[in-house]
Chain A
Amino acid sequence: MNEFDVAVIGAGVTGSAIARYLARYELKTVVLEKEEDVSSGTTKANSGIVHAGFDAAPGSMMAKMNVKGCEMIKELSKTLDFPYRNNGSMVLCFDEAEIPNLRALYERGITNGVKELKILTGDEARAMEPAVSDAVVAALWAPTAGIVCPFNLCIALAENAADNGVVFKFLTEVENIKKTAEGFRISTNNGEITAKTVVNAAGVYADKIHNMVSADKLTITPRRGEYVLMDKEVGGLVSATIFQLPGKLGKGVLVTPTVHGNLLVGPNAQDLEDKEDTETTQAGMDDIKKRALLSVPGVPYNKMITSFAGLRAHEARHDFILGEVSDCEGFFDAAGIESPGLTSAPAIGEYMADMIAVKLSAKQKENFNPNRKGFIEVAKLPREERARLIKECPEYGRIVCRCENISEGEILDAINRTLGAKSLDGVKRRVRQGMGRCQAGFCTPRTMELLARELKIPMTEVRKNRPGSELLKG
């Protein structure tokens, strides 16, 4: 029962994408995730940007996967039904002397195969984005860039994988991996699993997993990025994603609308030791807030609704490590997945899955269903449709989260569908309950009740996310 062809370690966006593309083959695949849900590590806290692909070094895996992933996400947003918007991105240049660097970025983009790139004058940039600073002298415009819901991209990939037969095991942390004659024996805190091949998509822990089987050691440095998020009321301040040209002041921070219409500012970059350190700091938040004002002087920080930090899985060579490990046959790395990892995920998924299928001589599945139905956003439905839905399912008429207008029906769907939510954060990431301006002040009690009822657990066992994050003390 615990024998598989492929074991994917990690259910972030990379692991979920690999699983989804593996599901197209006649393979028994399992995904092992140490947290209680998909999308719980690096995937849960990042910029949510679909990068055009001009940033990565030509010829690198990053460049290849980024450009391809950018195209794939646009298509996938229809077949897998997750929120995506093709809003374009702009890199701002503040100094005449640095225009050659902007031009170099343009050239790099052309080499990488990015389409429709254009250099704008400062005035042209301001005509398109009136909120950007008067100090801008030129900008690189990339109309193929976009914004995506990072959680729902991952959730959609994972759900579709599960619907096509991939097994997901949560709260399952890999403790050791032994190479055997048939493949691998994987010990976890949740029993033993055997698999012919293993895919390491463990994010910031990819070094730990890799080093269990390989003498060629890998080091992944958690590189923290902090963000602040503003109310939807000011989400329209910019339409495109606004970057800063890396220069004297470092890599720069971005100002972007999110796909849900909030305004996001961040991230900084701080190399850490602790792979769990997603703590925000006063100094970090002050720093990104200040630097974002260079691009957009009017960012209304008084409309801030939350702040968060995420960890990038940085590897010194700064390229994606994708492929079979040289000294361990059948063990594949998808490591060093930092920005543009979210954008690249579908391309990485397809690339890795095809490679493993060749290795195992797997045949294409005949009945693979590429489609997945996303969550109904009741408040966005046309009136008649909304009325019809409520008539059929009255729970869509009971609004639980008043800031984001999320109904009981949506929350129940989040809990009860394939790989459903098991915690408050799980519900939040799927349907945005509690993501609005009151930050779950009003809807927490009701959502907890729904979780307790549907999961058949007492209220005192309802958690925010992983075990230990129980919300009540008695």
Chain B
Amino acid sequence: MDRHDLIIIGGGPAGLAAALAARENGIEDILILERDVRLGGILNQCIHNGFGLHTFKEELTGPEYAERYAKRVIEAGIPYKLNTICADISPDREVTYVNAEEGCVTVKAGAVILAMGCRERPRGALGLPGFRQAGVYTAGTAQRLMNIEGYLVGKEVVILGSGDIGLIMARRMTLEGAKVKVVAELMPYSGGLKRNIVQCLDDFNIPLRLSHTVTRVHGKERVEGVTISEVGPDRRPIPGTEEFYSCDTLLLSCGLLPENELSKSAGVRLSRITGGAEVNESLETSVPGVFSCGNVLHVHDLVDYVSEEASRAGKNAAAFIKAGGVRERGRVITLKGEGGVRYTVPQTIDPANMEDKLTVRFRVGDVYKGKSLAVYYNGVEVRRVRKRVMAPGEMEELVIMKSSLPENTDEIIIRVED
């Protein structure tokens, strides 16, 4: 069986940044497995701009952002395989992949980085009643058909869900001559970034109806319209509020799900809230030597944070490999989100392996205006940060300083407070 020091599953923004960081930290023998025909992952179909403001201090399109990383990976001579699907990862880091050239191959990895990204919540998982007609697409599928293949999926469109891809597609389809009639959002707030609501809906006079959902999809062969109803605080439709919108297409942007089937085959423990792996300060999962980063770990709002997180995973995987695959594990501090903070990544910290500064990322469960984020070490408040506004569509972060951690800390809690 062949062996590689580091195998990275996925050649999207997370996988590429992880590979570069691992190489910068001295790992020569790296292999990236990418299932698509090119590096860059989902960014290749995100042809709008707005990427890279943090990383490159300029506004790039998705393909441009991907290109910068892909180019560096190629220049660094890091090997990658395209059109290659990872079929299995065993708990002892044997990676099986399949492609047309080599068939079915198993290789041993010194360390593995999971960077498979996420998928969209499909119609079936939403339980939308109606026929199973053509014309219902997740926003990402419509985006691929439009931006990669060059086809228009519909001319009169209703969008359910105000996730970022849905908002982006509202603008994109409008620019291509389609009429986007309305965006309906089940929650009383949008799941997307504020800037996308302004630039993709407001600028094009597309109404966003909060606390509304689709209660019926009409048409047998092809979508002919949808019924939209208002929902109450229990998120159930309110009878009598039904409104019919005629359309030929329904796009869904109702959440992204980290794609962790392979992680499960490796025995990685998953968080029930993020759907991604539970990780420690090194972004290492419950399986030693298996690291996770990017949208497969938790769904990010900006790719810049994916790259930053993935670089840390690459660096930490490099340290693991250089240490010969064994790392002393010391004390464990548990990190928890409470009172409006839905989760934290990471979930645990080993102070012995912690760098001086650790960025903790999380999302809140509701829209909060003028509230604070409070940090507690063993129940004692140590910090309080005032936030003008926090919303579920935007990721929050806090930095924990190693120097601030008392010896005996075993629990850190982050809460939303007044």
The residues of A with any CB-CB pair to B shorter than 8 Å are 228-229, 276, 278-282, 284-285, 304-308, 379, 383, 386-388, 390-391, 394-399, 402-403, 405, 437-442, 444-445, 449, 459-460, 463-474
A331 CB to nearest chain B CB (Å): 30
Most buried by A among B85, B137, B152, B248: B85
CB distance A474 to B149 under 8 Å?
Answer: no
| B144 within 8 Å of A (CB atoms) | yes
A210 to B154, CA, bound (A): 41
A391 to chain B, nearest CB (A): 6
Q: At the interface, yes or no: B382 with Cβ under 8 Å from chain A?
A: no
Known: A399-B85, A474-B151. A463 touches B124 (CB 8 A): no
CB neighbours (8 Å) of A460 from chain B are 151
Q: In the complex, what residues of A have CB within 8 A of residue B288's CB?
A: none
- B: which residues have CB within 8 A of A? 35, 83, 85, 87, 98-104, 106, 119-120, 122-125, 127, 129-135, 137-138, 140-141, 144-145, 148-149, 151-155, 215, 220-222, 237, 248-249, 261
Q: Are A390 and B100 in contact (CB under 8 A)?
A: yes
Bound CA–CA A399/B97 (angstroms): 11
Known contacts A306-B124, A402-B35: A282-B153 contact under CB 8 Å? no
B103 A387 Cβ-Cβ under 8 A: yes
**A residues in contact with B129, CB < 8 Å:** 279-282, 284-285, 307
Provide the residues of chain A in CB contact with B131, threshold 8 Å: 278-280
Roughly how many angstroms separate A403 CA and B248 CA in the complex, as a whole number? 28
State whether B101 touches A441 (Cβ < 8 A): no
With contacts A304-B127, A386-B103, A438-B120 taken as known, whether A469 is within 8 angstroms of B145 at the C-beta atoms is no
> Do A285 and B153 touch across chains, with their CB atoms under 8 A apart?
no
Whole-angstrom distance from the CB of B247 to the nearest CB of chain A? 11
Q: Chain B's nearest CB lies how many Å from the CB of A381?
A: 9
Q: Are B119 and A471 in contact (CB under 8 A)?
A: no
Contact partners of A281 in chain B: CB under 8 A:
129
Give the residues in chain B near A466, CB-CB below 8 Å. Answer: 221
Q: Which 9 A-B pairs have the closest CB atoms?
A: A306-B124, A468-B221, A439-B122, A394-B100, A397-B100, A387-B103, A464-B134, A390-B103, A469-B221
Contact (Cβ within 8 A) A469 B140: no
Asked if B100 and A459 sit within 8 Å, CB to CB, the answer is no
- Cβ of B134: which chain A residues have Cβ within 8 Å of it? 463-465, 469-471
A413 to B153, CA, bound (A): 27
What's the minimum C-beta distance from B95 to chain A, rounded to whole angstroms? 14
A282 to B248, CA, bound (A): 22
Assuming the A-B contacts A276-B220, A307-B124, A469-B222, are A386 and B104 also in contact, with contact meaning beta carbons closer than 8 angstroms in the complex?
Answer: yes
- Please judge, given known A-B contacts A281-B129, A445-B141, whether A474 and B83 are in contact too, CB under 8 Å: no
A439 & B104 in contact (Cβ 8 Å cutoff)? no
Closest approach, in angstroms, between the C-beta of A390 and any C-beta of chain B?
Answer: 4
Contact present for A472 and B104 (CB under 8 Å): no
Check A305 against B133 for contact (C-beta < 8 Å): no
A403 vs B85: C-alpha distance in the bound complex, in angstroms? Answer: 11
Contact A473/B154 with A308-B132, A402-B85 known, Cβ cut-off 8 Å? yes
CA distance A387 to B221 in the complex (A): 40
Q: Are B122 and A441 in contact (CB under 8 A)?
A: yes
Cα-based distance from A287 to B350 in the complex (angstroms) = 49
Given contacts A280-B130, A397-B100, A474-B155, contact A304 B144 (CB under 8 A): no
Contact of A441 among B106, B132, B141 (CB under 8 A): B141
List the B side residues contacting A439 at CB < 8 Å: 122-125
**A283 nearest CB neighbor, chain B only:** B129
Once the chains bind, are B133 and A399 in contact (CB under 8 Å)?
no
Nearest chain-B residue to A399 (Cβ)?
B85
Q: B141 to A459, Cβ gap below 8 A?
A: no
Known pairs A390-B103, A470-B222; A445 contacts B152 (CB<8 A): no
Which chain B residue lies CB-closest to A389? B103
A282 in contact with B144 (CB, 8 Å): no
Structural contact, A395 and B100, CB atoms closer than 8 A:
yes
Please give the distance in Å from B87's CB to the nearest CB on chain A: 7
Q: CB-nearest residue of chain B relative to A278?
A: B131
Instruction: For B106, give the chain A residue with the smallest CB separation.
Output: A383
Residue of B83, B98, B152 near A472 (CB, 8 A) is: B152
Tell me if A390 and B120 are in contact (CB < 8 A): no
- CB-based contact A438/B127 at 8 Å: no
